[in-house]
């Protein structure tokens, strides 16, 4: 999940933070950790809700509305919890924490778990793998982009286009992992 | 191409619906909880699209997979709700939704067209084969169908449009 089915490079999930936050290495790390944390908690919460509320009442078609509400409120709670317990971490995460609500990777993982009908353990493994893969790629990308800022690229390629091409090269390398298993 | 068209239709419907509702009730939404309200409205419309696609175009529903429900977290829709529909009257919001959707559809179609043509050497629409290129048909550039091909095309197109002056700024 972390390498072969990488969320960003292979499934196109979480592209907004990938291009938005990957300009500085320190921000990328905070964002990656925050997303992984929320993905893990959201996976556990939505799995329980799916199994014990949606399925018994046969209202699985409501999953999108329920999941997004659960994720939004979870993000709020996590934000408050971090603010009370660890102010340094809270300041480091800053604006990125509330933005996770609209991160496709988080809603994506809950929907994948639901459609693949994973067990709780499988879902957790899937979410952690996805989160670690997300963090890994975010860190790699930001490291490369910090160097790219100094490179002498053509004017029309500067910024986003060259970042997209970098993502292509990273994606090609990650495709190589598919052959390893 | 089919996927791109299906996706555009889905996004257009959701954007139009959510813009209409949000614009209509913009005066009674309390400012402090506006984002959750927007998201619930959007999620409702996405559920509708999801169910309709599942019932009437199951093949398309299958191939769009989790990307169809993920319209909920499409930044365009929440972005337009927050930046435009929550501040402007109904008719303007409808026009805004249509304009944005057409732009989105154009971008999606350009990329889908190039990816399918280059990646498979042929183009088909709704199951009908439109054309097959002479050399590419036998030796397609398969990387364009793979995920990295999408990044490559987006990067090159963005650079090209910037060069031509269609897109300005960073």
Q: At what angle do helices B2-24 and B90-120 cross, to 10 degrees?
A: 170
**CB distance A145 to A166 below 8 Å:** yes
Q: Is B142 part of the contact surface with chain A (CB cutoff 8 Å)?
A: no
Long-range CB contacts (< 8 A, 24+ apart) of B49-52? B49/B10, B49/B13, B49/B14, B50/A61, B50/A64, B51/A61
Chain B residues near residue A172 by CB distance under 8 angstroms: 143, 148
pLDDT tens digit sequence for A124-177: 888 888 888 888 888 888 888 888 878 777 777 777 788 888 888 888 888 777
pLDDT value of position B169: 57
Q: Do B155 and A68 touch (CB under 8 A)?
A: no
DSSP letter for each residue of B20-41: HHHHHTTTTS-GGGHHHHHHHH
Tokens 């009370």 -> residue? A84
Instruction: Return the bridge partners of B122, or none.
Output: B132
Provide the β-strand partners of residue B124.
B129
A·B CB contacts under 8 A: 102
Number of domains in chain B: 1
- CB count within 10 Å of CB B150 equals 21
CA of A91 vs chain B CAs: smallest distance (Å):
22
> Who wins on pLDDT, B140 or B150?
B150
Lowest-confidence pick of A7-11, B23-27, B84-88, B143-147: A7-11
Residue corresponding to tokens 């179609």: B109
Summarised one tens digit per residue, pLDDT across range A70-117 is 888 888 888 888 888 878 777 777 667 777 777 788 888 888 888 888
Residue A140, token pair as written in the block: 């790699």
Partner-chain residue, chosen from A62, A102, A154, that has the shortest CB–CB distance to B73? A102
In angstroms, the separation between the Cα of residue B10 and the nearest Cα of chain A is 15
Give the distance from residue A29's alpha carbon to the nearest chain B alpha carbon, in angstroms: 22
Taking the CA of residue A16 and the nearest CA in chain B, the distance in Å comes to 8
The candidate with the shortest Cα–Cα distance to B49, out of B1, B11, B97, is B11
Chain B hits for A111, Cβ within 8 Å: 66, 69-70
**Could you tell me the two tokens for B153?**
């095309």
Parallel, antiparallel or unpaired: strands B128-132 and B122-125? antiparallel
The distance of B57 to chain A (nearest Cα, Å) reads: 17
ipTM above 0.85, yes or no: no
Whether the CB of B159 is below 8 Å from some CB of chain A: the reply is: yes
Expressed as residue numbers, the domain containing B94 is 2-164
Are residues A118 and A126 in contact, defined by beta-carbon separation less than 8 angstroms? yes
Name which of A102, A103, A122 is nearest A112 in CA terms.
A122
Q: Report which secondary-structure segment, H or E, holds A91.
A: helix A87-93
| CB < 8 Å to A21, chain B | none
Class of residue A84 by CB neighbours under 10 A (exposed 0-12, middle 13-18, buried 19+): exposed
| Contact: B148, A171; criterion CB under 8 Å | yes
What are the DSSP calls for B133-149, one per residue?
Answer: -TTTTTS--GGGTSHHH
Q: Do B39 and A72 touch (CB under 8 A)?
A: yes
Per the domain annotation, does B170 fall within a domain?
no
Question: For residue B60, what pLDDT band results from cuts at 50, 70 and 90?
Answer: confident
The band of A2, judged by pLDDT with boundaries at 50, 70 and 90, is: low
Length of chain B: 170
Residues of B in contact with A175 (CB under 8 A): 146-148
- Which pLDDT tens digit goes with each residue over A35-77? 888 888 889 988 888 888 877 787 777 778 888 888 888 888 8
Q: Domain for residue B169, yes or no? A: no
Determine whether the interchain pair B66/A108 forms a contact, defined as Cβ–Cβ distance below 8 Å: yes
Q: Is A157 on the interface with B (CB under 8 A)?
A: yes
User: Euclidean distance between the first and final Cα of chain B, in Å?
Assistant: 29
């Amino acid at each position: 999940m972390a390498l072969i089915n990488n969320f960003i490079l292979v499934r196109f999930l979480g592209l907004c933070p990938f291009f938005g936050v990957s300009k500085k290495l320190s921000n990328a790390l905070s964002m990656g950790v925050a997303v992984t944390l929320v993905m893990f908690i959201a996976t556990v919460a939505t799995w329980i809700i799916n199994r014990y509320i949606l399925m018994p009442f046969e209202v699985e078609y409501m999953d999108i509305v329920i999941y997004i509400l659960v994720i939004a409120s979870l993000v709020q709670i996590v934000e408050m919890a971090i603010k009370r317990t660890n102010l340094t971490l809270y300041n480091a995460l800053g604006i990125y924490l509330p933005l996770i609500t609209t991160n496709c990777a988080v809603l994506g993982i809950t929907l994948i778990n639901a459609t693949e009908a994973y067990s709780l353990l499988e879902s957790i493994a899937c979410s952690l793998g996805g989160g670690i893969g997300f963090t890994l790629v975010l860190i790699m990308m930001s490291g490369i982009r910090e160097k790219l800022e100094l490179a002498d690229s053509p004017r029309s390629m500067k910024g986003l286009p060259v970042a997209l091409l970098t993502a292509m090269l990273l994606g090609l390398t990650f495709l190589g992992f598919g052959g390893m298993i | 191409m089919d996927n791109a068209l299906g996706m555009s239709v889905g996004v257009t419907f959701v954007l139009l619906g959510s813009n209409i509702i949000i614009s209509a009730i913009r005066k009674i939404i309390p400012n402090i909880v506006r984002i959750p309200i927007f998201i619930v409205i959007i999620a409702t419309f996405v559920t509708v699209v999801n169910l309709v696609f599942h019932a009437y175009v199951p093949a398309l529903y299958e191939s769009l997979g989790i990307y169809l429900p993920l319209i909920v977290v499409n930044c365009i829709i929440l972005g337009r709700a927050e930046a435009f529909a929550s501040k402007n009257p109904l008719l303007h919001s409808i026009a805004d939704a249509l304009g944005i959707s057409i732009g989105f559809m154009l971008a999606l179609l350009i990329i889908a067209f190039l990816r399918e043509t280059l990646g498979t050497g042929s183009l088909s629409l709704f199951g009908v084969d439109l054309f097959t290129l002479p050399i590419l048909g036998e030796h397609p550039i398969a990387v364009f169908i793979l995920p990295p091909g999408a990044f490559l095309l987006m990067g090159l197109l963005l650079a090209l449009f910037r060069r031509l002056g269609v897109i300005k700024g960073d």
